[in-house]
Amino acid sequence: MSDENVKYTENMEKALQQSHGIGYESYKGSLKKKVEVEKAREKDYRDSLQVENELTRKMNR
């Protein structure tokens, strides 16, 4: 999906700013920033999966 087709909302802007410290225009205009943000998102996702797996394991003891 290209950036032109994305309908960007105020809440999405706030979330990007709070989570990554940049606005959508900066994100959209810089491949380097996009890669940094997406790597951070991937890390957050993997970390959350690890926490979920640990909690599930502890609950099933």
Q: What's the 3-state SS for 10-24?
A: HHHHHHHHHHHCCCH
In terms of phi and psi (left: phi > 0; alpha: psi -120 to 50; beta: otherwise), the region of 6 is beta
Residue 61 is predicted with a pLDDT of 84
Question: Does residue 17 contact residue 23 with C-beta atoms inside 8 Å?
Answer: yes
**pLDDT tens by residue, 28-37:** 999 999 999 9
27-42 core/surface letters (b: 16 or more CB in 10 A; e: else) = beeeeeeeeebeeeee
pTM of the model: 0.74
Reported as a single tens digit per residue, the pLDDT across 35-53 is 999 999 999 999 999 999 9
Q: What is the average per-residue pLDDT within 7-18?
A: 91
Q: Report pLDDT for 7.
A: 83
